[in-house]
Amino acid sequence: MGDRDSDGSLDLNQLRTFLAVHRAGSITAGARLVGLSQPTVTTQLQALEKRLGYRLFERLPRGVASTTAALELAARVGGPLDALDAVTARAVPAEPVPQPPVRLAGPAELLAVQALPALAPLIERGVRLTVTAGLSEELLAGLRAGHYDLIVSTIRPRGRALVAEPLADEEFVLVAAPQLAARIDTVRLRTDGPTALTGLPLVSYSADLPILRRYWRHVFGVRLAAEAAVVVADLRAITATVAAGAGISVLPRYLCARELAAGTLVPLLEPDDPPINTGFLVRRPGTNSRPHIDLVHNHLRSAARAW
């Protein structure tokens, strides 16, 4: 078969193969999705790259990464090919085609406390997960490169290469252990602001105090100029450290809800307008047409309504 059909158009089978590899993030997984051997898929991709005149994938130690040109091509052909397949209703193989693992990524704490427990019922339905924790900027870059299928991001991505949907809002709360909170004049804190907290140790996610600084700016309207007594890049560790009485910190309410309910942490303030951060569920265009990605995507959206 030539690179083009007899009417001069691009070979639809090659485009379907390209789209499967793009969505799966690997030639092996893409081959399973289209029911072809790996060598056949490689040959089709090479023929398509030759016809188009540009490279579609960068080979990685594990899988492939879509080039910018491939992302643009997938955005153009994904919808029409999916619609065509739905109309033609191609025959379903006698044996179900195994779905590759859904590659999910996001902040470690949100994955551990909210996302993964919510997705547990899907495992009995045959869904497999490969989960990566990291910072949103790095994960967004990895999603663009094809390393992940879905990510939960605290940053809304720019551009058209990714599709982002608001997932849930996380509220930040200023907390301390009860024994430390008893030393704080909360009336003065409400009236005079952070001067009531002078001298108290701060526990922070990083040395530049990003969450604390944002809280100070949003709630008190002042810039926080201080150094942390404890720096630990894990919000769950911060929760435990503050509950042990080491200092004060600002945490997402969902992460310390159990400690607040048990009284091992107490809120120092309950402002009418607390700082809120929106989490986004982000994917590449077309990837939620894979059944298991679609399941994970929809299950997270449904579960997030209760977060």
Is residue 7 in a domain?
A: no
Of the three residues 88, 122, 146, the one that is the final residue of a domain is 88
The pLDDT value recorded for residue 5 is 47
Check whether residue 292 and residue 224 sit in a common domain: no
Residue 59 is part of a domain; what is its CATH number? Answer: 1.10.10.10
In contact, 52 and 82? CB cutoff 8 Å: no
Check whether residue 112 and residue 260 sit in a common domain: no
Is residue 294 in a domain?
A: yes
Is residue 6 in a domain?
A: no
Of the three residues 59, 88, 117, the one that is the final residue of a domain is 88
Query: Distances from the Cα of 305 to the Cαs of 12, 118, 179, 184, in angstroms?
Result: 40, 11, 34, 35
Residue 206 is part of a domain; what is its CATH number? Answer: 3.40.190.10
| pLDDT greater at residue 290 or residue 121 | 121
pLDDT at position 104 over 80: yes
Is residue 229 in a domain?
A: yes
In contact, 16 and 41? CB cutoff 8 Å: no
Q: Which domain holds residue 84?
A: 12-88
Q: How confident is the model at residue 95 (pLDDT cuts 50, 70, 90)?
A: low
What integer is the mean pLDDT of 109-133?
95
pLDDT at position 2 over 60: no
Structural domain count, the chain: 3
Q: Which of 68-77, 226-235, 285-294 has the lowest mean pLDDT?
A: 285-294
pLDDT at position 161 over 90: no
Query: Distances from the Cα of 272 to the Cαs of 8, 52, 67, 88, 191, in angstroms?
Result: 64, 57, 46, 55, 14
Is residue 292 in a domain?
A: yes
| pLDDT greater at residue 108 or residue 86 | 108
Check whether residue 263 and residue 213 sit in a common domain: yes
Check whether residue 75 and residue 218 sit in a common domain: no
pLDDT at position 167 over 80: yes
Whether the model clears a pTM of 0.75, i.e. scores above it, the answer is no
Check whether residue 27 and residue 84 sit in a common domain: yes
The pLDDT value recorded for residue 97 is 59
Q: SS in 3 state form for 71-135? A: HHHHHHHHHHHHHHHHHHCCCCCCCCCCCCCEEEEECHHHHHHHHHHHHHHHHCCCCCEEEEECC
For the chain, give the mean pLDDT.
89
Check whether residue 201 and residue 238 sit in a common domain: yes
Check whether residue 44 and residue 129 sit in a common domain: no
Of the three residues 66, 88, 110, the one that is the final residue of a domain is 88
| Tens-place pLDDT, residues 32-70 | 878 889 999 999 999 999 999 999 998 887 788 889 888
The pLDDT value recorded for residue 32 is 83
Is residue 4 in a domain?
A: no
Is residue 124 in a domain?
A: yes
| Tens-place pLDDT, residues 204-260 | 999 999 999 999 999 999 999 999 999 999 999 999 999 999 999 999 999 999 999
